[in-house]
């Protein structure tokens, strides 16, 4: 039985779409409302150097350009074809492109998978045709591509009516929604920031978001990659694209919409409640150091902040020095920092002593640092302001400096220049928020590459995301090996919905080298007593049946049995309880009860998009009560296991995770990653651990789809 493959296909070559020299616009005309004709005019409006060839059998010219009756009559095969035709004509046009030697195109038309069963069949046929002919198709149901640097406007986006030129920038956005992508580009331009590329992928019949992230990771003019998506067809390929961008030092900002179903196989286990919609995405994006956001505003905030930032200056800690000129805003920012996982640490005595002669007498140097308006109103203190900033930033507890500026009676431009100069020389990140900033100060800061937030909380939110990004980059990226385990020897032909009960599950774990609590399955009361003597008192007794996966809730669990008499009495009680449910027991598991140690839930399941995921969380009776869980792609390294455990609330007071627990997680994840089934959950709840050992106490394996 071979494991299910989580591998991805190779990335597509999208060069002709991103950098065409010749473009055929099929279906273009001068008729009002014709989007092909609008595209031809946009190429002219924005001064594209591309050679444009309108194609329409019924026209001699379009927008003053010679119009060709067919693709076969073009001067040469175009690098890129824009299919400005209805959905019903797209397949034939792709055939014509292939016959004319054109290998890349954009289909704008809707009426495919979003249009019911007929549209779904049309898109499936289109995808098959593109694969057969080697045609790299963007779309359908997309708004195309805009490159601001060349420029190239292979789009019909109406926002191009509102601009006479595009600002060239270093932010590229690839989006499954054309409307959000063009809105993002327009919003950024209005704030003085240009996009490099706007790429709308639409229905992704052939080319996917991942193909373009991969290409943008190698694009010298792209510094920041932003993306909006609702799902991916090939999760492994998407992860590889994110890691390409990570390796290239390019932050990827992800706005994800739509719920992501985790494995349905987890429904009968605690994992079903804990995996949760969206948590798989959270885990994958964190593992790939992508920055997940919740709105277009937040996506743009982070993109614009990082656009002009030195990406070698990322926060090394979560401590924020909040520099204010009024106490209230500092108090608010401290609360806001706490909510996004940052802190505002007190400055050291040495720092505060060094500040005494550099700040006004009324200033507070605790942090938030309230310098009072005297710091910019009095020339004596304004002159010392740069040195004070250097002292604050040098404090060992400070990971980044946050300016909270406000309306000033005078000196806005001078303050702007001081902020820019400080940001340039500071070895740590500097973030600025300045409501009601005057235009001259805004222009000055923008020229120096300093993004200024119009509201304090948006800056704090961005700092929290960037700190998460820095932490993710610092996490170990080595790959962990998948275990070599012969599952077919244990389960040669499992059927859908197979439940492997605890005693059999523990036998598998033990054969795979994982420590399990000593236990034996008993079929009679005498055998239960013998088992208790063998494993050692105190014992736990559990009624075993594939029909019951939560024994405590069913009343088929008894704890802390310390004598043979108690074992016999419990045997009778469990048999009676099973008869009353009614369920048939395979037997009663008699297990040594580990009295010391803490409890964790450790499980694994195969997500349909991203493969096997490891889940760790609060164990035992606290599992669903606390909802304290962390997911990470499997198999995990010790570094990834350590990071996952440190993020659990129940582990925060435990100090560094012990080696025994890390070993258990790594072995368990390696075993789970080797599981051959399409849909399964392997769960141990709890794993009991101390500083010296970690053992599986209660195991369950459900094979939903072999």
pLDDT digits (tens, 9 = 90+) for 237-273: 999 999 999 999 999 999 998 754 443 344 344 444 4
127 within 8 A of 206, measured Cβ to Cβ: yes
Q: Note the CATH number of domain 598-705.
A: 3.30.470.20
Question: In this predicted structure, what is the pLDDT of residue 650?
Answer: 87
Question: In this predicted structure, what is the pLDDT of residue 548?
Answer: 85
Check whether 688 has a pLDDT greater than 70: yes
Question: In this predicted structure, what is the pLDDT of residue 258?
Answer: 75
Pairing status of strand 195-200 against strand 598-607: unpaired
Question: In this predicted structure, what is the pLDDT of residue 507?
Answer: 93
Nearest one of 658, 660, 678, 662 to 670, comparing CA atoms? 662
**Rounded Cα gap, residues 283 and 277, in angstroms:** 12
**φ, ψ dihedrals at 210, nearest 5°:** -60, -35
pLDDT tens digits, one per residue of 153-179? 999 999 999 999 999 999 999 999 999
Check whether 5 has a pLDDT greater than 50: no
Question: In this predicted structure, what is the pLDDT of residue 552?
Answer: 82
* Token reading at 464: 């929290």
Q: Kindly indicate the confidence band of residue 142, based on its pLDDT and cuts at 50, 70 and 90.
A: very high
What percent of the chain shows pLDDT beyond 70?
A: 95
| Beta bridge pairs of residue 321 | 401
Check whether 635 has a pLDDT greater than 90: yes
Token pair 């009860």 is at which residue? 593
Identify each DSSP E strand in 211-297 by its residue range.
224-229, 252-256, 291-293
* Token reading at 331: 């108090």
Question: In this predicted structure, what is the pLDDT of residue 4?
Answer: 45
Instruction: Choose the weakest-confidence range: 199-208, 226-235, 317-326, 469-478.
Output: 469-478
Classified as helix, coil or strand, 137 is strand
207 within 8 A of 181, measured Cβ to Cβ: no
Domain with CATH 3.30.470.20 in the chain: 598-705
Q: Average pLDDT of 116-136?
A: 96
**Rounded Cα gap, residues 262 and 681, in angstroms:** 11
pLDDT tens digits, one per residue of 470-528? 999 988 778 899 999 999 999 999 999 999 988 899 999 999 999 999 999 999 999 99
* Token reading at 328: 């209230």
Q: How many residues does the chain have?
A: 706
Check whether 87 has a pLDDT greater than 50: yes
**Exposure b/e, 20-56, CB count within 10 A at least 16 = b:** bebbbbbbbbbeeebbbbbbbbbbebbebebbbbbbb
Domain with CATH 3.40.50.720 in the chain: 15-258
Nearest one of 289, 342, 296, 323 to 433, comparing CA atoms? 323
Q: Which CATH architecture has domain 320-474?
A: 3-Layer(aba) Sandwich (3.40)
Q: What is the mean pLDDT of the chain?
A: 92
Question: In this predicted structure, what is the pLDDT of residue 642?
Answer: 93
**Rounded Cα gap, residues 18 and 248, in angstroms:** 19
pLDDT tens digits, one per residue of 529-581? 999 999 999 999 999 998 887 788 899 999 999 999 999 999 999 999 999 99
Q: From the centroid of its chain, how far is CA 507?
A: 36
Q: Kindly indicate the confidence band of residue 115, based on its pLDDT and cuts at 50, 70 and 90.
A: confident
- One of 3.40.630.10, 3.40.50.720, 3.40.50.2300, 1.10.150.120 is the CATH number of 15-258, namely 3.40.50.720
Q: Which of the 8 DSSP states describes residue 482? A: P
Question: In this predicted structure, what is the pLDDT of residue 653?
Answer: 78
| Beta bridge pairs of residue 590 | 520, 541
Question: In this predicted structure, what is the pLDDT of residue 273?
Answer: 43
Q: Which CATH architecture has domain 518-592?
A: 2-Layer Sandwich (3.30)
Check whether 274 has a pLDDT greater than 80: no
**Rounded Cα gap, residues 482 and 425, in angstroms:** 46
Q: Average pLDDT of 383-398?
A: 96
Q: Kindly indicate the confidence band of residue 622, based on its pLDDT and cuts at 50, 70 and 90.
A: low
């Amino acid at each position: 039985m071979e494991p299910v493959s989580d591998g991805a296909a190779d990335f597509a070559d999208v060069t002709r779409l991103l950098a065409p020299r010749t473009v055929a616009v099929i279906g273009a005309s001068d008729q009002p409302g014709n989007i092909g004709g609008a595209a031809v005019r946009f190429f002219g409006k924005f001064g594209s150097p591309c050679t444009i060839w309108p194609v329409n059998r019924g026209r001699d010219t379009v927008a003053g350009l010679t119009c060709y009756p067919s693709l076969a009559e073009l001067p040469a095969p175009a690098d890129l074809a824009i299919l400005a035709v209805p959905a019903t004509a797209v397949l034939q046009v792709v055939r014509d492109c292939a016959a004319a030697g054109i290998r890349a195109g954009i289909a704008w038309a809707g009426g495919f998978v979003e249009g019911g069963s007929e549209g779904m069949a049309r898109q499936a046929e289109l995808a098959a045709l593109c694969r057969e002919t080697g045609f790299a198709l963007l779309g359908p149901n997309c708004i195309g591509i805009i490159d601001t640097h060349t420029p190239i406007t292979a789009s019909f986006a109406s926002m191009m009516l509102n601009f006479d030129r595009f600002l060239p920038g270093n932010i590229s956005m690839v989006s499954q929604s054309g409307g959000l992508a063009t809105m993002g580009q327009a919003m950024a331009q209005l704030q003085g920031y240009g996009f490099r590329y706007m790429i709308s992928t639409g229905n992704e019949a052939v080319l996917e978001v991942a193909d373009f992230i991969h290409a943008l990771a190698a694009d010298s003019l792209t510094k920041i990659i932003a993306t909006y998506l609702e799902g991916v067809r090939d999760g492994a390929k998407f992860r590889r694209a994110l890691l390409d961008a990570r390796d290239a030092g390019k932050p990827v900002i992800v706005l994800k919409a739509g719920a992501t179903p985790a494995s349905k196989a987890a429904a009968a286990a605690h994992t079903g409640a804990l995996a949760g919609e969206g948590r798989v995405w959270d885990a994958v994006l964190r593992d790939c150091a992508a920055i997940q956001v919740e709105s277009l505003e937040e996506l743009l905030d982070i993109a614009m902040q990082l656009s002009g930032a030195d990406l070698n200056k990322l926060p090394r800690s979560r401590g924020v020095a909040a520099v204010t000129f009024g106490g209230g805003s500092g108090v608010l920012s401290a609360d806001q920092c706490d909510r996004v996982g940052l802190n505002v640490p007190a400055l050291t005595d040495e720092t505060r002593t060094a500040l005494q002669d550099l700040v006004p007498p009324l200033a507070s140097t605790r942090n938030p640092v309230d310098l009072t308006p005297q710091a910019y109103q009095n020339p004596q203190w304004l002159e010392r302001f740069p040195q004070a900033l250097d002292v604050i930033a040098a404090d060992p507890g400070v990971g980044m400096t946050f300016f909270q500026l406000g309306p000033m009676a005078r000196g806005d431009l001078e303050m702007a220049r001081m902020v820019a100069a400080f940001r340039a020389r500071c070895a740590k990140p500097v973030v600025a928020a300045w409501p009601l900033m005057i235009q001259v100060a805004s222009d000055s800061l923008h020229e120096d590459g300093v993004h200024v937030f119009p509201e304090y909380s948006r800056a704090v939110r961005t700092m929290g995301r960037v700190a998460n990004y820095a932490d993710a980059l610092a996490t170990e990226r080595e790959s962990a090996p998948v275990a070599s385990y012969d599952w077919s020897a244990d389960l040669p032909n499992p059927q859908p919905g197979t439940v492997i009960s605890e005693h059999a599950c523990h036998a598998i774990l033990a054969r795979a080298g994982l420590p399990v609590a000593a236990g034996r399955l008993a079929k009679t009361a005498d055998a239960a007593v013998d088992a208790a003597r063998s494993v050692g008192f105190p014992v736990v007794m559990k009624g075993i049946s594939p029909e019951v996966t939560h024994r405590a809730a069913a009343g088929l669990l008894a704890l802390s049995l310390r004598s043979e008499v108690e074992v016999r009495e419990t045997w009778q009680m469990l048999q009676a309880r099973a008869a009353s449910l009614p369920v048939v027991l395979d037997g009663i598991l008699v297990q040594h009860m580990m009295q010391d140690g803490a409890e964790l839930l450790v499980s694994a399941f195969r997500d349909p998009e991203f493969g096997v995921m490891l889940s760790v969380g609060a164990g035992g009776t606290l599992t669903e009560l606390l909802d304290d869980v962390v997911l990470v792609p499997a198999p995990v390294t010790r570094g990834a296991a350590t990071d996952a455990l440190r993020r659990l609330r129940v582990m925060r007071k435990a100090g560094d995770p012990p080696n025994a627990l890390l070993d258990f997680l790594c072995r368990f994840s390696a075993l789970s990653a080797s599981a051959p089934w399409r849909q399964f959950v392997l769960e141990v709840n709890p794993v009991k651990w101390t500083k010296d050992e970690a053992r599986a106490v209660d195991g369950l394996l459900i094979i939903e789809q072999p």
